[in-house]
Amino acid sequence: MDKACGFNITIVGLGLIGGSMAKAIRENLKVKNIWAVDLDRDALKEAHESGIIDDFFEDEKIPLSNSDMVILCTYPNTALDFMKNNRDNFKHGALITDTSGIKEKIVAEARNVLRSDCEFIGGHPMSGKESMGYKYSDGNIFQGTNYIITPDEKSNKEAVLLLKEILYTIGFKKIIEMSPEEHDRIIAYTSQLPHILACIMMNSKSFQGSRDVRGGSFRDITRVADINCELWSELLHENKQNILEELEAVMKDIKNISSMIDSDDVDSLKTVFKNSSMLRKEMNYERA
């Protein structure tokens, strides 16, 4: 991609997503330099020694003042603190983006924190793994997956186009634009609610008594219960209202199913099951 050829890119947070971003950029983009900032010096050294990043620095001012693009791959509030603390250190005209699972708070506060000559576009990759840390990072985890960006009316159209081109080049299949508010409302259902349900299953009093009779369905529904506790606690706290609405809705659905079972309403159960089966087939995950 020609536009990024002369770019210096700094990745803040070299964990699972940040490390995967660095690897995907290294493999697919011909940039000038990939730099990283992280508290985990071992991860930085490993990435540097393997050629994934070109350098890392004790003083974050050095890479930031020379970076055309900065990708914040940290927890949401850490990303905001980083922008506040480095407001004067970003390069003039820098494109700054993040990868966190909430967007309304991030986008609103980034506008207040960053200088007017810097461009911020919120982002969220719809891909990942249950394990965390640089050692689990993989540049291929983005291949064929979707990425959400949340530009607003103040966003520079050329910067949005540039970010899209970079994301497509490193492997994302589809870039979806939506407002930060819409993102947080939808993600509460499609991402945060499934994690909560998986954790409920694992914390159930029935868990210990079922050790030898857990099938594939139990494995599948609890896959995401192997969770980053700090991150997901923060995500749910910051998206409180949306997730509470989804929990209220799912509790009504559970009560409805319970009522069907209790009243021996087999026909209604069949209708629910047929509808869910049809909708699941339409999702066509296996061919995606």
Query: Residues 244-281: pLDDT tens digits?
Result: 999 999 999 999 999 999 999 999 999 999 999 999 99
**Strand bridging mode 95-98 / 69-72:** parallel
What is the mean predicted confidence (pLDDT) over 153-180? 94
Distance of CA 85 to the CA centre of its chain: 23
- Give CA angle at 118 (113, 121), nearest 5°: 80
Residue of 254, 134, 267 whose CA lies nearest to 193 = 254
Measured in degrees and rounded to the nearest 5, phi and psi for residue 147 equal -135, 130
What is the tens place of the pLDDT at every residue in 148-165? 999 988 899 999 999 999
With vertex at residue 130, the alpha carbon angle to CA 125 and CA 133, rounded to the nearest 5 degrees, is: 80
H or E segment to which residue 201 belongs: helix 193-203
Q: What angle do CA 125, 118, 81 make, to 5 degrees?
A: 65
**4 is written with which tokens?**
């990024």
pLDDT (tens digit per residue) in 106-144: 999 999 999 999 999 999 999 877 778 899 999 999 999
DSSP codes, 219-246: HHHTGGGS--HHHHHHHHHHTHHHHHHH
Quick one: 19 exposed, middle or buried, by C-beta within 10 A (0-12, 13-18, 19+)? buried
DSSP state of 22: H
